[in-house]
Structure 1
């Protein structure tokens, strides 16, 4: 299975930007739609208000009985007033209806006197003297003379003649004027809104870039730590296998040969006692080595026993190899489990390097507390090494120390190594305990 490639910083930023542009386009479309709808609704309401003012201020005062009874002279005078004061701008047709559906007046004189049934909305507007608007249905017979105007908006307003008879005023407006009002609203409100969205998108890009870089940096750090952990685990398994093969397995094999020789031979009691004593000593040594190895494989339960006993166990294993250990772990009591585990892991790695590489005769192991930190110091008198070349010496046994340093840094602590050829090595590890 091929490894999964992590997205680059540029890729993460591109995804964020594309998502932002898509959202911006969606919001732009929504704003455009809402602005046009709001403008259309406002234009329609304006047409209704204009028709109401016209009905009350121009039409009703001139609706005397002669006009209602369709007297030719009265209709002519009424038509003149309508054309002069009402038929202006987008208003292209005017009709006055009687309750029975008869057209009392229209600027299209051919419609005067014709009768058509009123719709439920029209009848309601006439009854309550209210107003209603709708898009014209140009397929209706009474609208046959309006087809040349195209799409129209009809506004009905209930009015009364001079003698109190209820009538209905119908005004036809070009729908283009309504849509133009919607476009005007869009042109007025959309640019600032879209501009604010664009500015927001532009402002977010640097923050997104910084966040993407931080995410990638943390991801690379996690990958590096994981690779270090894998490499350290492999090195640990190889070390355990080498220690078992070169140490305990060899000792037990030699012990087996000695016991077989004693069993097959005819030694006297003195020789038999010497063989048994040698076998017992070698078994004790092997058991001690196995115990040290078990401590390495499965460390003590720090949460229950504490760091002090765990360090004492490590010191005991080191002393069995002939190295004198000065252990001062009085301040190790009461440390949080996480801090104790990190310090134990550090001590384990450093003391292992002491045995393997330093040829030291004495080692100082000390745990101290300072403010909100715990500090582990391990100082040996071995042959040391060039501290400036620690990175280059990963293959010589110091790779585990680098991995421990990464763990300490991840926890908010740190690791320092001071060494010089022939002058020993001093390792200090610090972890927060709050």
Structure 2
């Protein structure tokens, strides 16, 4: 048997294509070659842009959070001061403007309140009169209260804050401080009269708190982002090299496809010219000779029989070419029928074929098409180059893998000749191998000089 003959010989087993190869797609012919360094530079630049954007966002958020926290701290300090320091010392004498009471109140304010970033305090009554201020020139003056101030005055313990408007007359003595945060709290006098306590904080202290928050969060945040960028660079380098390899593979596949297409057209033209065209031309000459001559009945019958035989051979050759040019409908007819067509072509060439395709039914159309394309190329090589007398064509399915085996008893070849045939323009097997690898399949060739050739194809189902 053919299988026994090959399994017992010291044949070279040549695995041409590995199923782990990366899936390939047809490249665009006008695409410029991608540089690994260029891809890495693009990736790094994009990462730095994102890093800087995140740094700016983190800075903004951290500073805003720090500023808001500092403002909240100022509101809390003002509330505690109003309830714990101002209200207990707010006597009738202070409200009436008695000098002795105001001096005692001023001493307490300077001792317990006016310190750090708190630079000015004011105490108002409901009529807009400044009852007390650490700026004595304001004491006793009257100014209209704003809506927020009037609301805070009516509600005891209500705390409001805003950036002080230094253009208002009551704030003229705060102009040297440039920018202040104004916080006011509603308090009550000894007889329950509503009053308003105002505290003015340096706004620079608020912004400095925001800056401190940014400086506290910036190093770990930016450090983590920078570390992430540095960790990604080796992966980006590897990915860029892989993309470059894939592009080269796509270009190679496209080049092989174009070359194989040209070779296929030349082969079909050669077969038509040297086969069917020659047969039909010879038949035409024979029929013309019979028409112009005066053949006997026996000669006429012999010529008609010979012409019919030659026409049947030409029809068979044309049928084989049609199968090559436009494969059968695998969905409707199945892989077994298509392989039978290929086997018939070998038999017309005088080669005995043993066909085993009982297990080849119900394969997915894409898998069946791959197996048929591989069988088509291998059968063509057998008919053209092997000199075989006997061929086995077997197709089946096992453990989720569709298989095709074509085993001939021809002259075979050695490993070095396989490479020579590929580089010398015989691209059929290489193109089939690329096609199979693209689908996760594998093509294996086992051959030895004088010992025939065995081609095995495996394609995962699904």
Q: Are 2:308 and 1:280 equivalent residues in the alignment?
A: yes
> In structure 2, which of residues 280, 284, 287 is the aligned counterpart of residue 259 of structure 1?
287
> In structure 1, which of residues 350, 367, 385 is the aligned counterpart of residue 413 of structure 2?
385
For 1:367 and 1:73, locate their aligned partners in 2 and report how far apart those are by CA, in whole Å: 115
The residue number in structure 1 matching 2:449 is 421
Unaligned 5+ runs, structure 2: 1-27
TM-score (norm 2): 0.88
Deviations 1:342-394 (A, max 9, x none): 22212211111111112222222223544332332222222222233312212
SS in 2 for 1:383: coil
The residue number in structure 2 matching 1:152 is 180
> In structure 2, which of residues 349, 359, 363 is the aligned counterpart of residue 321 of structure 1?
349
The residue number in structure 1 matching 2:145 is 118
| Structure with greater contact order relative to length (CA < 8 Å, sep ≥ 6) | 2
Deviation at 1:304, TM superposition (A): 2.3
Answer yes or no: is the 8 Å Cα contact 1:390–1:398 preserved in 2: no
Deviation at 1:87, TM superposition (A): 1.2
SS in 2 for 1:338: helix
> In structure 2, which of residues 29, 48, 58 is the aligned counterpart of residue 31 of structure 1?
58
For 1:420 and 1:20, locate their aligned partners in 2 and report how far apart those are by CA, in whole Å: 55
SS in 1 for 2:50: helix
Unaligned 5+ runs, structure 1: none
Deviations 1:165-221 (A, max 9, x none): 211111111111111111111112222222222222223333333344444444443
Q: Are 2:90 and 1:90 equivalent residues in the alignment?
A: no
Distance change in 2, residues 1:142/1:131 (3 Å): same
Answer yes or no: is the 8 Å Cα contact 1:369–1:375 preserved in 2: yes
The residue number in structure 1 matching 2:362 is 334
For 2:295 and 2:453, locate their aligned partners in 1 and report how far apart those are by CA, in whole Å: 51
Distance change in 2, residues 1:150/1:397 (3 Å): closer
> In structure 2, which of residues 30, 40, 46 is the aligned counterpart of residue 19 of structure 1?
46
The residue number in structure 1 matching 2:74 is 47
Q: Are 2:364 and 1:362 equivalent residues in the alignment?
A: no
Deviations 1:228-265 (A, max 9, x none): 23322222111111111111112212222222232233
Deviation at 1:425, TM superposition (A): 1.7
Deviation at 1:120, TM superposition (A): 0.3
Root mean square deviation of aligned Cα: 2.1
> In structure 2, which of residues 363, 366, 373 is the aligned counterpart of residue 345 of structure 1?
373
For 1:371 and 1:43, locate their aligned partners in 2 and report how far apart those are by CA, in whole Å: 70
Answer yes or no: is the 8 Å Cα contact 1:64–1:163 preserved in 2: no
TM-score (norm 1): 0.94
Distance change in 2, residues 1:295/1:2 (3 Å): closer
The residue number in structure 2 matching 1:401 is 429
For 1:366 and 1:75, locate their aligned partners in 2 and report how far apart those are by CA, in whole Å: 114
Number of residue equivalences:
434
Deviation at 1:42, TM superposition (A): 0.9
Moved more, 228-237 or 130-139: 228-237
> In structure 2, which of residues 231, 254, 259 is the aligned counterpart of residue 203 of structure 1?
231
> In structure 2, which of residues 105, 122, 126 is the aligned counterpart of residue 78 of structure 1?
105
SS in 2 for 1:306: helix
Deviation at 1:20, TM superposition (A): 1.9
Answer yes or no: is the 8 Å Cα contact 1:302–1:337 preserved in 2: yes
